[in-house]
Amino acid sequence: MLWSEYWAEAKYMNESHLLSTPLVFHPIYSQLDLPFKHRFPIEKYQAIYDRLISLGVPKAQFYQPDALTPSQLKRVYSPDYVNGLTQGVLDPKAMRRIGFPWSEQLIQRSLTAVAGTVMTSTLALEQGKALNLTGGYHHAFANFGAGFCLFNDLYLAALNMLQASAINKVLIFDCDVHQGDGTAKLASNNPKVFTVSLHGEKNFPHRKQVSDLDFPLAKGTTDDEYLTVVERALHQAFSTVQPDAVIYDAGVDIHVNDDLGHLHISTPGVYARDCMVFDACSKQGVPVAAVIGGGYQRDISALVDVHLQLYRAAGVVA
């Protein structure tokens, strides 16, 4: 099995996990030294954890992943790309496309973040629902990275879910404002992984891939129009594919105050969207693994407020 050695080493903290929605977090998610005023809000992951703790979520509810190994990634992704990236010898142009300066810290952080989404997918199968405090690296392809994404965690998590005997089809429902182009391409020849992307029509990436279902959104889209599209997308996806499990990318770069989103979705609109996804999964009786996706407000506290809607919708906090 692809991840058997990884799961053999995973240690669950205590039995209280069984009483609540599993949350996956590692401090390394926010441990990356970036140039001054870099566009990526690396602090937000620790800030989400701190906010959840302050709201009364017990530390025992969190699982901590161990980093995946390059050899595990090479079973799915280009060995040349994995070697070049992890060993620090990737072409400088390829690193610029990713958007981060190379460092050993970057590699360890990425391997752990990706592992967190894989762990989240297993916990979702076990307990019906699980949330990672990072994830959504959907611009990574088999042989290159882009848009702050080194390795595509969503596709890895889908493959992990498919190893369970009861799972024959996984739906990746991507609501990040940027199209899940890497995910669409990776899954294009895998009939067991069904990809849906709701994204800004005139936003990055400029060259779109073809998901199983794409819902391009005009600049300035507001709550009512957006939630109508979400409802239609969920209906089409579930009726078309009848998935056995769902991976949900709950990107909040759709928010009206996001620097990179260009949509006009309010905080209540984000909450309503997240509730719709969880409700649809619940009604269909399928497990759901959620990741937080993109969000690029420079005000980290305000950004956390928006990301927190996912945890409210999941019933983690009131």
Q: Distance of CA 25 to CAs 38, 75, 135, 240, 296, Å?
A: 23, 25, 10, 33, 20
Mean pLDDT of the chain: 94
pLDDT for residue 161 is more than 90 = yes
Torsions phi, psi for 32 (to 5 deg): -150, 115
**118-126 average pLDDT score:** 98
pLDDT for the residue 195: 98
pLDDT for the residue 103: 97
pLDDT for residue 242 is more than 90 = yes
pLDDT for the residue 12: 37
**162-189 average pLDDT score:** 97
**207-224 average pLDDT score:** 97
What predicted TM-score, i.e. pTM, was given to this entire model? 0.93
pLDDT for the residue 17: 39
pLDDT for residue 11 is more than 50 = no
* Residues 73-100 pLDDT 10s: 999 999 999 999 999 999 999 999 999 9
Q: Which amino acid is at 31?
A: Q
Residues that are catalytic: 139
Find tokens 């010898």 and name the residue.
Answer: 89
Q: What is the percent of the chain with per-residue pLDDT over 90, rounded to a whole number?
A: 93
| CB burial string 250-289: b at 16+ within 10 A, e below | bbbbbbbbbeebbbbbbbebbbbbbbbbbebbeeeebbbb
Distance CA 243, CA 305 (A): 31
pLDDT for residue 13 is more than 50 = no
Distance CA 173, CA 278 (A): 11
Q: What is the DSSP letter of 20?
A: S
